[in-house]
C-alpha cells in the first residue's frame, strides 16, 4: 500500500469478489429495481420491530454476498460494518450471527465506503484474504431515532431526504475477475455550521468536495480518469453545492459524468415523498453493490469513484444545539483491460 496525503493506493490489487443488495418496497419501485438481489414488499421486512427489520436486511445481504462469491461463512476472516443506530446495533447483531471477527465502524452514511476502504486495506497489506464489508439502514429506524416516529406523521420541508431501506455488502479478496479496489481517499471532518437536520445535503456537500479535491491532488489524476463519479447522498440540494465548490477549487468535473446515489436510487418525479432524494447508510451501499457493480462487471463502465458522505450528528448533539460535522470517504473501483 502506498500512502500519498489522504489517499491509499492499493498495489496488490484487492478485488471486489461479489456484492449483494436487499431493499424495501420503495427502493424496489425505483429505477434500479432490476439491479437488486431481493426486494421486500413490506417495510416491516416480516419482523416485529423496525430495528429487527434493519438487522435482517444486513444479515440477508451478507449471506447472499458470501454465496455469490462462492464461499462459506467460515471462509470470511473479518467483517467490517456499521450503521446509523445507537451503538451500531444492526451491524453488531448481524456480525454475531455470522461469527467472524468483527470491526465495527461508524461514518454515518459514509460507512459503506469507509468499510470497503478498510477491507481493501486489510487484503492489500496481507492481513486477510477475504473480508466482508457492509452496512444497512431503514427508513423507520432513522426517523424514529433522529427525527420523529413515522406514526407522528410530521411534515417535512423540500430539503429533507428519505432514508433508504436496504443493505449492501461486498466481499473483498485476492484473485477473481471482479473490479479492483484501486485506491481510497479518507476524508476530513468538515463543519460549516449548519444545524438543520432536514438539510443534510447542504451540510455534507463541503465534505464531499473536500475529499474529491484531495483525491485528485494526491493521485495526480483528473476527473476524466473515471467514467463516473458519484457522491453518496447529497441529493438534489447538496449535489449542486458540491459542483459549485469544486468549480471554485478549479477541479474540472466537466471531464466526467458526476451524479449522486441519492438521486439514482429513487424515481424523483414519481416518488415525490422522497423530497430531495435518498440518504442513509444503505443509500450508497445498494447503489454500489447493486447498480454500479453490475455496470462494472458488464463493462458498461470501467472506472468509477464512489464518494460516500456522512453527517456525524447524534440525537444528543442535535438536542444540545450543536452544528452538524460531516465527512466523506472515496473508493475507486476499476475493471482491468
Q: Which residues of 189-225 are buried (b: 16+ CB within 10 A; e: fewer)?
A: ebeeebeeeebbbbbbbbbbbbbbbbbbbbbeeebeb
Q: How many CB atoms lie within 10 A of CB 60?
A: 21
- What cell numbers appear for 248 in the block? 471554485
For 288-334, the pLDDT digits (tens) are: 999 999 999 999 999 999 999 999 998 889 789 999 999 999 999 99
Cα torsion angle, 159, 164, 169, 170, sign:
negative
With CA atoms as reference, report the closest residue to 326 among 256, 252, 241.
241
Mean pLDDT in residue range 187-199? 93
Dist CA 91 CA 136 (whole Å): 8
| pTM score, whole prediction | 0.97
Q: Are 137 and 283 in contact (CB under 8 A)?
A: yes
Q: Is 152 a residue whose pLDDT tops 70?
A: no
Helix (H, G, I), strand (E, B) or coil at 320: coil
Q: Cell numbers of 13, please?
A: 490489487
Region 190-214: what's the mean pLDDT? 95
Which CATH superfamily, name and number, covers 180-334? Stage V sporulation protein AD (3.40.47.40)
Give the per-residue pLDDT at 155: 79
- Report in angstroms the alpha-carbon separations of 2 from 7, 219, 278: 8, 11, 34
pLDDT at 145: 85
pLDDT for res 203: 96
Instruction: With beta carbons less than 8 A apart as the criterion, state whether 184 and 117 touch.
Output: yes
Which residues neighbour 314 within 8 Å (Cβ) at sequence distance 6 or greater?
86
Q: Where in the chain is CATH 3.40.47.40?
A: 2-173, 180-334
d(CA 305, CA 254): 15
pLDDT digits 0-9 by tens, 226-284: 999 999 999 999 999 999 999 999 999 999 999 999 999 999 999 999 999 999 999 99
Q: CA-based diameter of the chain, in Å?
A: 53
Pick the CATH number of 2-173 from 3.40.50.300, 3.40.50.12160, 3.40.47.40, 1.10.30.50: 3.40.47.40
pLDDT confidence of residue 149: 66
Amino acid at each position: 500500500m502506498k500512502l500519498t496525503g489522504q489517499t491509499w493506493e492499493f498495489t496488490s490489487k484487492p478485488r471486489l469478489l461479489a456484492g449483494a443488495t436487499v431493499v424495501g418496497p420503495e427502493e424496489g419501485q425505483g429505477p434500479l429495481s432490476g439491479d437488486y438481489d431481493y426486494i421486500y414488499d413490506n417495510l416491516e421486512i416480516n419482523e416485529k420491530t423496525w430495528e429487527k427489520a434493519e438487522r435482517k436486511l444486513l444479515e440477508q445481504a451478507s449471506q447472499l454476498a458470501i454465496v455469490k462469491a462462492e464461499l462459506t461463512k467460515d471462509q470470511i476472516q473479518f467483517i467490517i460494518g456499521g450503521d446509523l443506530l445507537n451503538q451500531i446495533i444492526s451491524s453488531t447483531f448481524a456480525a454475531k450471527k455470522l461469527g467472524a471477527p468483527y470491526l465495527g465502524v461508524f461514518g454515518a452514511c459514509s460507512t459503506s465506503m469507509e468499510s470497503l476502504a478498510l477491507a481493501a486495506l486489510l487484503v492489500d497489506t496481507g492481513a486477510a484474504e477475504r473480508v466482508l464489508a457492509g452496512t444497512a439502514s431503514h427508513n423507520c429506524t432513522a426517523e424514529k431515532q433522529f427525527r420523529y416516529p413515522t406514526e407522528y406523521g410530521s411534515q417535512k420541508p423540500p430539503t429533507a431526504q428519505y432514508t433508504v431501506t436496504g443493505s449492501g455488502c461486498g466481499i473483498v479478496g485476492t484473485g477473481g475477475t471482479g473490479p479492483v479496489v484501486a485506491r481510497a481517499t479518507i476524508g476530513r471532518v468538515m463543519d460549516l455550521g449548519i444545524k438543520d437536520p432536514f438539510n443534510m445535503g447542504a451540510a455534507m456537500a463541503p465534505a464531499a468536495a473536500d475529499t474529491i479535491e484531495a483525491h485528485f491532488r494526491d493521485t495526480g489524476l483528473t476527473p476524466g480518469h473515471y467514467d463516473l463519479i458519484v457522491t453518496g447522498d447529497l441529493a438534489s440540494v447538496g449535489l449542486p453545492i458540491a459542483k459549485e465548490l469544486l468549480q471554485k477549487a478549479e477541479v474540472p468535473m466537466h471531464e466526467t459524468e458526476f451524479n449522486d446515489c441519492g438521486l439514482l436510487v429513487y424515481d424523483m418525479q414519481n416518488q415525490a415523498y422522497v423530497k430531495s432524494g435518498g440518504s442513509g447508510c444503505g443509500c450508497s451501499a445498494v447503489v454500489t453493490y447493486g447498480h454500479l457493480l453490475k455496470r462494472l462487471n458488464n463493462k458498461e463502465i470501467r472506472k468509477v469513484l464512489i464518494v460516500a458522505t456522512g453527517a456525524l450528528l447524534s440525537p444528543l448533539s442535535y438536542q444540545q444545539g450543536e452544528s452538524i460535522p460531516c465527512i466523506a470517504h472515496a473508493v475507486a473501483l476499476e475493471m482491468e483491460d
